[in-house]
Amino acid sequence: MLPIRVIFDLDDTLYLERDFARSGFAAAGDWLHRELNIPGLAETCQRIFTAGRRSRVFNEALELLRVEADPALVDLLVDIYRTHEPTIALTADAARYLACRPRDFLAGLITDGPSGTQQAKVRALGLERALDFIVYTDALGHGYGKPHPRAFELVEAWAAPYGLPLAYVADNPSKDFVTPRERGWWTVQLDRPERVNHFTAPSAAHEAHTRITSLDELDACLDDLQSASGSIRTSSHRHAGALVAFR
pLDDT in tens, 41-55: 999 999 999 999 988
- The CATH number for 5-15+88-246, chosen from 3.30.230.10, 3.40.50.1000, 3.40.50.720, 3.40.190.10, is 3.40.50.1000
Amino acid 237: pLDDT: 36
* Res 105: pLDDT: 81
197 Cβ contact partners less than 8 Å away, ≥ 6 residues apart: 12, 17, 171, 172
pLDDT, averaged in runs of 10, over the chain (247 residues): 84 98 98 97 97 93 96 97 98 96 86 97 96 97 97 96 91 97 96 91 96 96 83 38 47
Whether the CB-CB separation of 222 and 101 falls below 8 Å is answered with no
Q: Please write the tens of the pLDDT for every residue from 86-114.
A: 999 999 999 999 998 887 788 999 999 99
pTM of the complete model: 0.89
Residue 203's CB is within 10 A of a number of other CB atoms, namely 9
- Specify whether the CB–CB gap between 144 and 137 falls below 8 A: yes
pLDDT of residue 244: 57
